[in-house]
Structure 1
Protein backbone atom coordinates (compact mmCIF):
# COMPACT_ATOMS: atom_id res chain seq x y z
CA UNK A 1 0.00 0.00 0.00
CA UNK A 2 1.30 3.45 -0.96
CA UNK A 3 1.51 5.83 1.97
CA UNK A 4 1.66 9.62 1.75
CA UNK A 5 2.49 12.18 4.38
CA UNK A 6 0.32 15.29 4.70
CA UNK A 7 3.24 17.51 3.62
CA UNK A 8 3.80 15.29 0.59
CA UNK A 9 0.15 15.64 -0.50
CA UNK A 10 0.39 19.41 -0.02
CA UNK A 11 3.58 19.62 -2.09
CA UNK A 12 2.09 17.50 -4.89
CA UNK A 13 -1.01 19.71 -5.08
CA UNK A 14 1.00 22.94 -5.15
CA UNK A 15 3.38 21.60 -7.79
CA UNK A 16 0.47 20.30 -9.88
CA UNK A 17 -1.33 23.66 -9.89
CA UNK A 18 1.74 25.78 -10.59
CA UNK A 19 3.14 23.52 -13.31
CA UNK A 20 -0.28 23.38 -15.00
CA UNK A 21 -0.37 27.17 -15.00
CA UNK A 22 3.17 27.29 -16.42
CA UNK A 23 2.28 25.06 -19.37
CA UNK A 24 -0.89 27.10 -19.98
CA UNK A 25 1.14 30.32 -20.08
CA UNK A 26 3.77 28.78 -22.34
CA UNK A 27 1.09 27.68 -24.81
CA UNK A 28 -1.25 30.67 -24.60
CA UNK A 29 1.17 33.53 -23.98
CA UNK A 30 -0.01 36.36 -21.77
CA UNK A 31 -3.60 36.25 -23.01
CA UNK A 32 -5.57 35.62 -19.81
CA UNK A 33 -8.69 34.41 -21.64
CA UNK A 34 -6.63 31.91 -23.64
CA UNK A 35 -4.85 30.76 -20.47
CA UNK A 36 -8.15 30.13 -18.68
CA UNK A 37 -9.55 28.33 -21.74
CA UNK A 38 -6.63 25.95 -22.13
CA UNK A 39 -5.90 25.45 -18.42
CA UNK A 40 -8.48 22.65 -17.82
CA UNK A 41 -7.01 20.65 -20.74
CA UNK A 42 -3.50 21.29 -19.50
CA UNK A 43 -4.45 20.17 -15.99
CA UNK A 44 -5.63 16.80 -17.30
CA UNK A 45 -2.43 16.26 -19.27
CA UNK A 46 -0.15 17.58 -16.56
CA UNK A 47 -2.21 15.95 -13.81
CA UNK A 48 -1.80 12.49 -15.24
CA UNK A 49 1.73 13.13 -16.46
CA UNK A 50 3.14 14.83 -13.39
CA UNK A 51 1.39 12.87 -10.64
CA UNK A 52 1.83 9.46 -12.24
CA UNK A 53 5.45 10.26 -13.12
CA UNK A 54 6.19 10.87 -9.45
CA UNK A 55 4.14 7.86 -8.36
CA UNK A 56 6.21 5.76 -10.76
CA UNK A 57 9.36 6.72 -8.88
CA UNK A 58 7.66 6.17 -5.53
CA UNK A 59 6.25 2.75 -6.44
CA UNK A 60 9.56 1.36 -7.70
CA UNK A 61 11.38 2.76 -4.65
CA UNK A 62 8.90 1.07 -2.33
CA UNK A 63 9.18 -2.14 -4.36
CA UNK A 64 12.83 -2.29 -3.30
CA UNK A 65 11.89 -1.62 0.32
CA UNK A 66 12.83 2.05 0.51
CA UNK A 67 10.76 4.92 1.87
CA UNK A 68 10.17 7.55 -0.83
CA UNK A 69 8.53 10.94 -0.53
CA UNK A 70 7.87 13.82 -2.94
CA UNK A 71 9.28 17.16 -1.83
CA UNK A 72 8.62 20.53 -3.41
CA UNK A 73 11.44 22.64 -4.80
CA UNK A 74 10.22 26.27 -4.55
CA UNK A 75 13.11 27.64 -6.60
CA UNK A 76 12.27 25.18 -9.36
CA UNK A 77 8.64 26.31 -9.39
CA UNK A 78 9.66 29.97 -9.64
CA UNK A 79 12.09 29.19 -12.47
CA UNK A 80 9.41 27.18 -14.29
CA UNK A 81 7.02 30.13 -14.00
CA UNK A 82 9.64 32.55 -15.34
CA UNK A 83 10.57 30.35 -18.31
CA UNK A 84 6.89 29.84 -19.21
CA UNK A 85 6.67 33.50 -20.25
CA UNK A 86 9.35 32.77 -22.86
CA UNK A 87 7.32 29.96 -24.43
CA UNK A 88 8.86 26.92 -22.74
CA UNK A 89 8.78 25.32 -19.31
CA UNK A 90 11.83 24.15 -17.37
CA UNK A 91 9.74 21.71 -15.33
CA UNK A 92 11.57 20.93 -12.11
CA UNK A 93 8.99 21.55 -9.36
CA UNK A 94 10.37 18.94 -7.01
CA UNK A 95 11.30 15.29 -6.84
CA UNK A 96 10.66 12.01 -5.09
CA UNK A 97 13.41 11.50 -2.55
CA UNK A 98 14.31 7.89 -1.82
CA UNK A 99 15.82 7.30 1.60
CA UNK A 100 18.44 4.58 1.59
CA UNK A 101 21.78 3.99 3.26
CA UNK A 102 23.08 2.33 0.10
CA UNK A 103 21.71 1.94 -3.40
CA UNK A 104 23.30 0.34 -6.46
CA UNK A 105 23.43 2.15 -9.80
CA UNK A 106 21.04 -0.47 -11.18
CA UNK A 107 18.35 0.13 -8.58
CA UNK A 108 18.82 3.89 -8.80
CA UNK A 109 18.54 3.67 -12.57
CA UNK A 110 15.36 1.58 -12.43
CA UNK A 111 13.76 3.98 -9.95
CA UNK A 112 14.75 6.93 -12.13
CA UNK A 113 13.54 5.50 -15.45
CA UNK A 114 10.11 4.65 -14.02
CA UNK A 115 8.85 8.25 -14.27
CA UNK A 116 9.79 8.89 -17.92
CA UNK A 117 8.47 5.45 -18.94
CA UNK A 118 5.13 6.35 -17.33
CA UNK A 119 5.08 9.55 -19.43
CA UNK A 120 5.86 7.64 -22.63
CA UNK A 121 3.08 5.15 -21.92
CA UNK A 122 0.63 7.96 -21.16
CA UNK A 123 1.57 9.76 -24.39
CA UNK A 124 0.82 6.60 -26.35
CA UNK A 125 -2.47 6.10 -24.47
CA UNK A 126 -3.54 9.66 -25.29
CA UNK A 127 -2.57 9.03 -28.93
CA UNK A 128 -4.65 5.83 -29.02
CA UNK A 129 -7.68 7.59 -27.53
CA UNK A 130 -7.23 10.47 -29.97
CA UNK A 131 -7.28 8.00 -32.87
CA UNK A 132 -10.41 6.34 -31.44
CA UNK A 133 -12.42 9.58 -31.20
CA UNK A 134 -11.04 11.46 -34.22
CA UNK A 135 -13.86 10.70 -36.66
CA UNK A 136 -16.49 11.40 -34.00
CA UNK A 137 -14.92 14.83 -33.38
CA UNK A 138 -16.41 16.05 -36.66
CA UNK A 139 -19.94 15.62 -35.32
CA UNK A 140 -19.69 15.56 -31.52
CA UNK A 141 -18.61 18.40 -29.23
CA UNK A 142 -17.82 15.86 -26.52
CA UNK A 143 -15.44 14.09 -28.89
CA UNK A 144 -13.81 17.45 -29.71
CA UNK A 145 -13.14 18.02 -26.00
CA UNK A 146 -11.73 14.50 -25.59
CA UNK A 147 -9.54 14.94 -28.67
CA UNK A 148 -8.24 18.28 -27.37
CA UNK A 149 -7.41 16.70 -24.01
CA UNK A 150 -5.56 13.92 -25.85
CA UNK A 151 -3.64 16.48 -27.92
CA UNK A 152 -2.48 18.24 -24.76
CA UNK A 153 -1.85 14.98 -22.91
CA UNK A 154 0.28 13.61 -25.74
CA UNK A 155 2.39 16.74 -26.13
CA UNK A 156 2.89 17.33 -22.40
CA UNK A 157 3.75 13.72 -21.55
CA UNK A 158 6.14 13.26 -24.47
CA UNK A 159 7.88 16.50 -23.48
CA UNK A 160 8.09 15.51 -19.80
CA UNK A 161 9.62 12.17 -20.81
CA UNK A 162 12.37 13.62 -22.99
CA UNK A 163 13.07 16.48 -20.57
CA UNK A 164 13.49 14.20 -17.56
CA UNK A 165 15.73 11.87 -19.55
CA UNK A 166 18.26 14.61 -20.28
CA UNK A 167 21.57 13.62 -18.60
CA UNK A 168 21.81 16.94 -16.79
CA UNK A 169 22.39 17.50 -13.09
CA UNK A 170 20.01 15.53 -10.92
CA UNK A 171 17.48 14.73 -13.66
CA UNK A 172 16.43 11.11 -14.20
CA UNK A 173 18.53 10.82 -17.34
CA UNK A 174 21.80 11.16 -15.46
CA UNK A 175 21.01 8.18 -13.23
CA UNK A 176 19.66 6.04 -16.08
CA UNK A 177 22.76 6.78 -18.17
CA UNK A 178 25.03 5.79 -15.28
CA UNK A 179 23.13 2.52 -14.91
CA UNK A 180 22.74 1.44 -18.55
CA UNK A 181 23.76 3.45 -21.62
CA UNK A 182 21.79 1.26 -24.02
CA UNK A 183 18.52 1.56 -22.12
CA UNK A 184 19.01 5.32 -21.82
CA UNK A 185 19.60 5.66 -25.59
CA UNK A 186 16.51 3.62 -26.50
CA UNK A 187 14.26 5.39 -23.99
CA UNK A 188 15.30 8.95 -24.81
CA UNK A 189 15.14 8.14 -28.55
CA UNK A 190 11.49 7.07 -28.20
CA UNK A 191 10.66 10.11 -26.08
CA UNK A 192 12.47 12.45 -28.48
CA UNK A 193 10.68 10.95 -31.50
CA UNK A 194 7.29 11.43 -29.86
CA UNK A 195 8.14 15.00 -28.89
CA UNK A 196 9.60 15.88 -32.31
CA UNK A 197 6.50 14.54 -34.03
CA UNK A 198 4.31 16.65 -31.77
CA UNK A 199 6.32 19.81 -32.45
CA UNK A 200 6.76 19.35 -36.21
CA UNK A 201 3.96 17.21 -37.66
CA UNK A 202 1.36 18.04 -35.03
CA UNK A 203 -0.93 15.72 -33.08
CA UNK A 204 -3.83 15.78 -35.54
CA UNK A 205 -1.56 14.99 -38.49
CA UNK A 206 0.02 12.13 -36.53
CA UNK A 207 -3.47 10.73 -35.96
CA UNK A 208 -4.40 11.17 -39.61
CA UNK A 209 -1.20 9.47 -40.80
CA UNK A 210 -1.75 6.48 -38.52
CA UNK A 211 -5.37 6.26 -39.65
CA UNK A 212 -4.32 6.48 -43.32
CA UNK A 213 -6.32 9.65 -43.96
CA UNK A 214 -4.90 11.87 -46.70
Structure 2
Protein backbone atom coordinates (compact mmCIF):
# COMPACT_ATOMS: atom_id res chain seq x y z
CA UNK A 1 0.00 0.00 0.00
CA UNK A 2 1.19 3.51 -0.86
CA UNK A 3 1.66 5.24 2.52
CA UNK A 4 3.09 8.61 3.46
CA UNK A 5 4.26 9.91 6.81
CA UNK A 6 3.44 13.46 7.94
CA UNK A 7 7.13 14.41 7.86
CA UNK A 8 7.46 13.02 4.32
CA UNK A 9 4.55 15.13 3.05
CA UNK A 10 6.07 18.20 4.74
CA UNK A 11 9.49 17.53 3.18
CA UNK A 12 7.98 17.02 -0.29
CA UNK A 13 6.07 20.31 -0.08
CA UNK A 14 9.10 22.28 1.11
CA UNK A 15 11.35 20.77 -1.57
CA UNK A 16 8.73 21.40 -4.28
CA UNK A 17 8.37 25.09 -3.38
CA UNK A 18 12.11 25.78 -3.10
CA UNK A 19 13.08 23.86 -6.25
CA UNK A 20 10.33 25.66 -8.20
CA UNK A 21 11.73 28.97 -7.00
CA UNK A 22 15.25 27.88 -8.00
CA UNK A 23 14.19 27.08 -11.57
CA UNK A 24 12.28 30.38 -11.78
CA UNK A 25 15.41 32.29 -10.72
CA UNK A 26 17.63 30.30 -13.10
CA UNK A 27 15.31 31.08 -16.03
CA UNK A 28 14.53 34.71 -15.16
CA UNK A 29 17.79 35.86 -13.65
CA UNK A 30 17.61 38.34 -10.80
CA UNK A 31 14.57 40.15 -12.16
CA UNK A 32 12.08 39.45 -9.38
CA UNK A 33 9.08 40.51 -11.47
CA UNK A 34 10.07 37.93 -14.08
CA UNK A 35 10.64 35.34 -11.34
CA UNK A 36 7.15 35.89 -9.93
CA UNK A 37 5.67 35.74 -13.44
CA UNK A 38 7.44 32.45 -14.25
CA UNK A 39 6.98 30.77 -10.85
CA UNK A 40 3.36 29.56 -11.29
CA UNK A 41 4.15 28.13 -14.74
CA UNK A 42 7.34 26.46 -13.55
CA UNK A 43 5.50 24.96 -10.59
CA UNK A 44 3.45 22.89 -13.03
CA UNK A 45 6.52 21.37 -14.67
CA UNK A 46 8.51 21.05 -11.46
CA UNK A 47 5.45 19.87 -9.52
CA UNK A 48 4.83 17.06 -11.97
CA UNK A 49 8.52 16.38 -12.55
CA UNK A 50 9.87 16.48 -9.01
CA UNK A 51 6.96 14.91 -7.14
CA UNK A 52 6.33 12.12 -9.66
CA UNK A 53 10.09 11.47 -9.94
CA UNK A 54 10.27 10.79 -6.22
CA UNK A 55 7.00 8.82 -6.25
CA UNK A 56 8.48 6.68 -9.04
CA UNK A 57 11.31 5.65 -6.71
CA UNK A 58 8.89 5.11 -3.84
CA UNK A 59 6.41 3.05 -5.89
CA UNK A 60 9.06 0.66 -7.26
CA UNK A 61 10.67 0.30 -3.81
CA UNK A 62 7.34 -0.59 -2.23
CA UNK A 63 6.53 -2.91 -5.13
CA UNK A 64 9.56 -4.95 -4.05
CA UNK A 65 8.27 -4.97 -0.49
CA UNK A 66 10.57 -2.31 0.97
CA UNK A 67 9.57 0.68 3.05
CA UNK A 68 10.54 3.90 1.26
CA UNK A 69 10.31 7.50 2.43
CA UNK A 70 11.35 10.88 1.00
CA UNK A 71 13.62 12.90 3.26
CA UNK A 72 14.66 16.51 2.76
CA UNK A 73 18.33 17.46 2.41
CA UNK A 74 18.52 21.08 3.67
CA UNK A 75 22.11 21.56 2.45
CA UNK A 76 21.03 20.42 -1.01
CA UNK A 77 18.20 22.95 -1.05
CA UNK A 78 20.55 25.77 -0.06
CA UNK A 79 23.07 24.73 -2.72
CA UNK A 80 20.30 24.56 -5.35
CA UNK A 81 19.22 28.09 -4.41
CA UNK A 82 22.79 29.38 -4.67
CA UNK A 83 23.43 27.77 -8.07
CA UNK A 84 20.15 29.14 -9.45
CA UNK A 85 21.61 32.67 -9.32
CA UNK A 86 24.30 31.48 -11.74
CA UNK A 87 21.75 30.29 -14.31
CA UNK A 88 21.56 26.59 -13.51
CA UNK A 89 20.13 24.40 -10.76
CA UNK A 90 21.97 21.64 -8.92
CA UNK A 91 18.71 19.89 -8.08
CA UNK A 92 19.40 17.67 -5.06
CA UNK A 93 16.77 18.71 -2.49
CA UNK A 94 16.44 15.26 -0.97
CA UNK A 95 15.89 11.64 -1.84
CA UNK A 96 13.66 8.64 -1.33
CA UNK A 97 15.37 6.40 1.19
CA UNK A 98 14.64 2.70 0.82
CA UNK A 99 15.01 0.65 3.97
CA UNK A 100 16.25 -2.87 3.30
CA UNK A 101 18.59 -5.32 4.97
CA UNK A 102 19.83 -6.47 1.59
CA UNK A 103 19.28 -5.25 -1.95
CA UNK A 104 20.76 -6.51 -5.20
CA UNK A 105 22.30 -4.14 -7.75
CA UNK A 106 19.47 -5.06 -10.13
CA UNK A 107 16.70 -4.05 -7.75
CA UNK A 108 18.58 -0.91 -6.70
CA UNK A 109 19.08 -0.04 -10.37
CA UNK A 110 15.41 -0.53 -11.19
CA UNK A 111 14.36 1.61 -8.24
CA UNK A 112 16.85 4.30 -9.27
CA UNK A 113 15.92 4.42 -12.96
CA UNK A 114 12.21 4.80 -12.19
CA UNK A 115 12.56 8.52 -11.39
CA UNK A 116 14.41 9.59 -14.56
CA UNK A 117 12.07 7.49 -16.73
CA UNK A 118 9.11 9.32 -15.19
CA UNK A 119 10.78 12.63 -16.15
CA UNK A 120 11.43 11.46 -19.72
CA UNK A 121 7.80 10.35 -20.12
CA UNK A 122 6.51 13.62 -18.64
CA UNK A 123 8.78 15.66 -20.95
CA UNK A 124 7.39 13.82 -23.97
CA UNK A 125 3.81 14.34 -22.76
CA UNK A 126 4.48 18.07 -22.37
CA UNK A 127 6.01 18.13 -25.88
CA UNK A 128 2.95 16.39 -27.38
CA UNK A 129 0.71 19.01 -25.77
CA UNK A 130 2.97 21.75 -27.15
CA UNK A 131 2.60 20.33 -30.66
CA UNK A 132 -1.18 20.08 -30.25
CA UNK A 133 -1.70 23.69 -29.12
CA UNK A 134 1.03 25.36 -31.20
CA UNK A 135 -1.15 26.19 -34.26
CA UNK A 136 -3.71 28.00 -32.11
CA UNK A 137 -1.19 29.72 -29.83
CA UNK A 138 -0.93 32.70 -32.21
CA UNK A 139 -4.63 33.49 -31.91
CA UNK A 140 -5.56 32.30 -28.42
CA UNK A 141 -4.14 33.55 -25.14
CA UNK A 142 -5.21 30.32 -23.45
CA UNK A 143 -3.33 28.19 -25.99
CA UNK A 144 -0.29 30.46 -25.67
CA UNK A 145 -0.32 30.03 -21.88
CA UNK A 146 -0.59 26.24 -22.22
CA UNK A 147 2.24 26.29 -24.75
CA UNK A 148 4.51 28.28 -22.44
CA UNK A 149 3.73 26.06 -19.44
CA UNK A 150 4.31 22.85 -21.39
CA UNK A 151 7.48 24.17 -23.04
CA UNK A 152 8.90 24.82 -19.57
CA UNK A 153 7.62 21.40 -18.48
CA UNK A 154 9.49 19.75 -21.35
CA UNK A 155 12.72 21.63 -20.63
CA UNK A 156 12.65 21.07 -16.87
CA UNK A 157 11.77 17.37 -17.02
CA UNK A 158 14.40 16.69 -19.69
CA UNK A 159 16.99 18.38 -17.50
CA UNK A 160 15.87 16.52 -14.35
CA UNK A 161 16.17 13.19 -16.17
CA UNK A 162 19.62 13.95 -17.58
CA UNK A 163 20.92 15.43 -14.33
CA UNK A 164 19.77 12.51 -12.18
CA UNK A 165 21.29 10.00 -14.62
CA UNK A 166 24.78 11.45 -14.17
CA UNK A 167 26.97 8.67 -12.67
CA UNK A 168 28.30 10.79 -9.83
CA UNK A 169 27.90 10.61 -6.08
CA UNK A 170 24.58 9.29 -4.90
CA UNK A 171 22.64 10.29 -8.02
CA UNK A 172 20.46 7.71 -9.76
CA UNK A 173 22.92 7.29 -12.60
CA UNK A 174 25.57 5.67 -10.37
CA UNK A 175 23.17 2.91 -9.32
CA UNK A 176 21.77 2.38 -12.82
CA UNK A 177 25.30 2.15 -14.26
CA UNK A 178 26.30 -0.39 -11.62
CA UNK A 179 23.25 -2.49 -12.53
CA UNK A 180 23.25 -2.32 -16.35
CA UNK A 181 25.59 -0.18 -18.44
CA UNK A 182 23.51 -0.66 -21.62
CA UNK A 183 20.31 0.64 -20.04
CA UNK A 184 22.22 3.53 -18.50
CA UNK A 185 23.73 4.52 -21.88
CA UNK A 186 20.33 4.40 -23.62
CA UNK A 187 18.47 6.42 -20.98
CA UNK A 188 21.13 9.10 -20.46
CA UNK A 189 21.53 9.43 -24.25
CA UNK A 190 17.78 10.03 -24.66
CA UNK A 191 17.59 12.46 -21.72
CA UNK A 192 20.81 14.19 -22.79
CA UNK A 193 19.63 14.68 -26.37
CA UNK A 194 16.28 16.05 -25.21
CA UNK A 195 18.03 18.47 -22.86
CA UNK A 196 20.61 19.51 -25.46
CA UNK A 197 17.90 20.27 -28.03
CA UNK A 198 15.97 22.29 -25.46
CA UNK A 199 19.05 24.33 -24.57
CA UNK A 200 20.32 24.87 -28.13
CA UNK A 201 17.54 25.09 -30.71
CA UNK A 202 14.73 25.70 -28.19
CA UNK A 203 11.36 24.05 -27.68
CA UNK A 204 9.58 26.10 -30.35
CA UNK A 205 12.01 24.95 -33.02
CA UNK A 206 11.62 21.35 -31.85
CA UNK A 207 7.87 21.76 -32.32
CA UNK A 208 8.34 23.28 -35.76
CA UNK A 209 10.59 20.38 -36.78
CA UNK A 210 7.94 17.90 -35.66
CA UNK A 211 5.06 19.53 -37.47
CA UNK A 212 7.21 20.36 -40.51
CA UNK A 213 7.05 24.14 -40.74
Which residue pairs with 2:139 in the alignment? 139
* 2:180 counterpart of 1:176: no
1:15-26 mapped onto 2 (5 Å cutoff): 15-26=15-26
Matched, 1:111 2:139: no
Q: TM-score, normalised by structure 1?
A: 0.99
Task: Establish whether residue 149 from structure 1 lines up as the match of residue 149 from structure 2.
Answer: yes
Q: CA deviation at 1:124?
A: 0.3
Instruction: State the aligned residue count.
Output: 213
Distance of 2:24 and 2:15 partners within structure 1: 14
Coordinate RMSD, CA, aligned: 0.4
The DSSP-based 3-state class of the residue aligned with 1:43 is helix
Deviation, 1:138, is 1.0
After TM superposition, list the pairs within 5 Å mapping 1:24-103 onto structure 2: 24-103=24-103
Gaps of 5+ in 2: none
> CA separation in 2, counterparts of 1:2 and 1:154?
27
Q: Measure, in 2, the Cα distance between the counterparts of 1:74 and 1:57.
A: 20
User: How big is each residue's C-alpha offset from its partner over 1:170-205, in whole Å with a ceiling of 9 and x where there is no partner?
Assistant: 000000000000000000000000000000110000
The runs of at least 4 aligned residues of structure 1 exceeding 4 Å deviation read none
With the length of structure 2 as denominator, give the TM-score of the two structures: 1.00
Q: What SS is found at the alignment partner of 1:142?
A: helix
